[in-house]
Amino acid sequence: MSDIDFSSHPCFSRDAHHKFGRIHLPIAPRCNIQCNFCNRKFDCMNESRPGVTSNILKPRQAAEYLAEVVSQRPEIKVVGIAGPGDPFANPVETMETLRLVRERFPEMILCLASNGLGIGPYIDELAELKVSHVTITITAVDPKIGAKIYAWIRDGKSPIRGEEAARILIERQLDAVRRLKERGIVVKVNAIIVPGVNDEHIPEIAKVVGPMGVDIMNCMPLVPVAGAIFEDLPVPDATMTARVRLQCGLHVEQMIHCARCRADAVGFIDEKMSREQMATLDRFAHSALNAGKARPYVAAASREGALVNMHLGEAASILIFKQDETTASGFKFVEIRTAPAPGGASARWSGLADLLADCRAFLVNAAGPSPKAALEDRGIEVIEMEGLIEEGLAAVFADQPIPASLKRRFTSCGEGGCRGTGTGCA
């Protein structure tokens, strides 16, 4: 890693945070744990906290976005992935993004922020990619206290709760810290100070991770967030925060210049997200879809031909429409296409993207993240709605958003602002 100047990381060096910038690539929307202090809300430029972003990028979009930003902001020396969920609840996107960035920017510092639950299988490759800095958020090393902080974790397909969930998470976190240090990676531990829950316990975290070689610790006061379980808890006062940091500082060096960065942060560590930055991110997030708008057709998933009332994955036959100014509605039916048969995992969705390659959009009642990503990567906008096909077509062909009355928004567990039970939607 001798070709990389590690002293340029503004989050790990007090001397660097006014000289060098960083950029966070928001490519990880899903999370595998639910913290009681967290309610992730997208698309609000006035909120500066982890878990917030104005858009989600695909890996190749992220690489192109990075190239443009760096060309305009040469002071940026660090590329980080910090959500808005957890990088390793989105491991495919995370690792592909890191590979693309390392190939294109061999001198760039790469870093990650994770809860530590799912990072283990990827640590060796992270080291090979020269990911030099990793932050693990550890709010407890006692499962009894952890059970008060975590509503659930998802390890595999099933949610786990209570002390068992906290025990599994803590074991994974500490194993990750140990293995990261064995690979020579700089490790920062974040700890959220939750008054009356873990404020007396956080020094115990420092006692555990200090001897493991953790390089720096960031004790952050709770910021109550509307909609979170801990929304009514008080903000730790200056005395409590100072006491926790002083006690932890006996075991681990303390970070005191954290700015609680957004998942799409750009620039210096204390720089706020501007409208211009949000517009640039939005442009890259929609780059594939914008390219697809010149295509002549729109597809629809329907049981009887009048309503959009089928999920993407269950649509065996797909209706195709085109614009036609000679008709009263402004469009007409073209044909029926047979969708790829179920099975084959990603190959099925790749085949569906091929089948609809001349379509600018696909109207469906609901869509899972995998097929949606596969189609949108090919410039086919997946529009989740319920109602008349004609009304959806009218909006798409007029290049207008789907009316609010037709929208139907589905999110997978841990995605977007969902604070559900982790069991999936009924």
Q: What is the pLDDT of residues 178-237, one digit of tens each?
A: 999 999 999 999 999 999 999 999 999 999 999 999 999 999 998 888 888 888 899 999
Domain with CATH 3.30.420.130 in the chain: 294-397
The model's pLDDT over 59-85, given as tens digits with 9 standing for 90+, comes to 888 999 999 999 988 888 899 998 888
CATH 3.40.50.720 fits 6-285, yes or no: no
**Is the pLDDT confidence value at 164 over 60?**
yes
Please, are residues 209 and 217 in contact by the beta-carbon 8 Å criterion? yes
Q: Is 337 helix (H, G, I), strand (E, B) or coil?
A: strand
d(CA 163, CA 142): 9
Token pair 């305009």: residue: 72
CATH topology of domain 294-397: Nucleotidyltransferase; domain 5 (3.30.420)
**Is the pLDDT confidence value at 297 over 80?**
yes
d(CA 195, CA 399): 50
The pLDDT value given to residue 424 = 47
The model's pLDDT over 83-128, given as tens digits with 9 standing for 90+, comes to 888 999 999 999 999 999 999 999 999 999 999 999 999 999 999 9
Mean pLDDT (whole number) for 309-326: 92
**Is the pLDDT confidence value at 408 over 80?**
no
Instruction: For residue 314, give the nearest of 395, 248, 368 by alpha carbon.
Output: 368
Report the C-alpha dihedral over residues 54, 57, 63, 65, rounded to 10 degrees. Answer: -30
Domain with CATH 3.20.20.70 in the chain: 6-285
The model's pLDDT over 363-380, given as tens digits with 9 standing for 90+, comes to 999 988 788 888 988 889
Instruction: For residue 247, give the nearest of 189, 213, 203 by alpha carbon.
Output: 203
Residue 221: cis peptide before it, omega within 30 degrees of 0: no
Report the C-alpha dihedral over residues 82, 177, 94, 167, rounded to 10 degrees. Answer: -80
Task: List the structure tokens of 113.
Answer: 């922020």
Q: Is 242 helix (H, G, I), strand (E, B) or coil?
A: helix
Please, are residues 24 and 56 in contact by the beta-carbon 8 Å criterion? no
**Is the pLDDT confidence value at 423 over 50?**
no
Q: Is 95 helix (H, G, I), strand (E, B) or coil?
A: helix
d(CA 94, CA 118): 12
Please, are residues 63 and 27 in contact by the beta-carbon 8 Å criterion? no
Task: List the structure tokens of 366.
Answer: 């609901």
Token pair 């990619």: residue: 129
pTM: 0.73
The total number of residues written for the chain in this structure: 426
